[in-house]
Amino acid sequence: MKVTFLGHACFLVEANNTKLLFDPYISPNPLAQTVDIDAVKADYIFLSHGHYDHVADVERIYHNHPATIYCQP
């Protein structure tokens, strides 16, 4: 298993050839400026809640590399 911290509350977990992305807030985060948002790939995207600093990049990542999204209603 590999866990990569992408800034704020965003983590990419890779295990058994599956990529799990949690709370994608990357492009507006000044601490994540070195992360290429268009290269981020995930099989599943998990959103803990709907605040901007947890969902800012979900659409962009999904449109570049479609994934299954899990979130609260």
Mean pLDDT of all residues in 40-55: 96
Count of CB atoms situated within 10 Å of the CB of 40:
23
CA count, 13 A, side-chain hemisphere, 72: 7
**In angstroms, rounded to a whole number, what is the distance separating the alpha carbons of residues 20 and 44?**
5
Mean pLDDT of all residues in 41-69: 96
Mean pLDDT of all residues in 10-30: 96
Domain chopping of the chain, boundaries? 2-70
pLDDT at site 31: 87
- The structure's pTM equals 0.92
**In angstroms, rounded to a whole number, what is the distance separating the alpha carbons of residues 19 and 22?**
10
User: Does pLDDT of 46 surpass 90?
Assistant: yes
User: Does pLDDT of 73 surpass 90?
Assistant: no
User: Does pLDDT of 24 surpass 90?
Assistant: yes
**In angstroms, rounded to a whole number, what is the distance separating the alpha carbons of residues 72 and 33?**
28
